[in-house]
Amino acid sequence: MLEATPLKAFSDNYIWLVHSPRQPRDVAVVDPGDARPVIEALEQQHLALQTILVTHHHADHVGGVAELRQRYGVPVIGPGAETIPERSRGVAGGEQVSLPELGLDLDVLDIPGHTRGHIAFYGHGALFCGDTLFSAGCGRLFEGTPTQMQHSLATLRDLPGETRVYCGHEYTLNNLRFALTVEPDNGAAREYMETAKTLRSGNQPTLPSTLSLEIAVNPFLRWDEPTVQKSAERRAGCSLDNPVEVFATIRRWKDGFN
């Protein structure tokens, strides 16, 4: 099993430090929006950075890439369809990223919607999905379409339920508030809200989540649940005929949710 620990950045970002199963001193880093917390962790824990992985081009995910690349001389692997600073290899869905120094092989998944070229890295029971899937939520549609995003989320929903979900932000409490607005009687979401409140009150991350938990609580993975469909139809004021329409309605609703 792959082990990853969060490094906090900015107000709510997580940079993921991925440890080698065979030599925990060797690490990769996912979406380093800021170099400082990565450098501090490497120096304080006597770790050796081997690779930088990037899911999409937004500044809060790539802002530290150039400094880390120049300081440590490691490869930068990210989406080939987006402009990534210092990228040494561009990848797309269907490819595999081999990290021999860490003893890890990760599959690349195309998951556009938040951005047009967004990718995820999946393997060893872990999913690094950037800003496409959040715990109890999903990313805004800055560049993609509802059809793209719903298809991307369906791709992730089909992964094994025990998959651990490592996303890019600590948005869980607010996302659960919205999830319970969509499905007020979702007992799993209510239970998760209490767990998340306890974690956050202790300044602990709610992540990683698991895919099985997300399928139970996340309205953006539950477009085919009758309770979510009915809630979306009440919001839209009309019947909704397919999963994309349900998803798009819920996503627009969340965009204006406070």
Residues with catalytic function: 56, 58, 60-61, 114, 131, 169
The helix, strand and coil proportions of the chain, stated in percent and rounded to the nearest 5, come to 35, 25, 40
Q: Where are the beta strands (DSSP E) in 139-192?
A: 164-167
Residue 199, burial from CB neighbour count under 10 angstroms (0-12, 13-18, 19+): middle
- CA–CA gap between residue 240 and residue 229 (Å, rounded): 8
The C-alpha atoms of residue 128 and residue 166 are separated, in whole angstroms, by 5
Q: Give the whole-angstrom CA distance, residue 162 versus residue 124.
A: 11
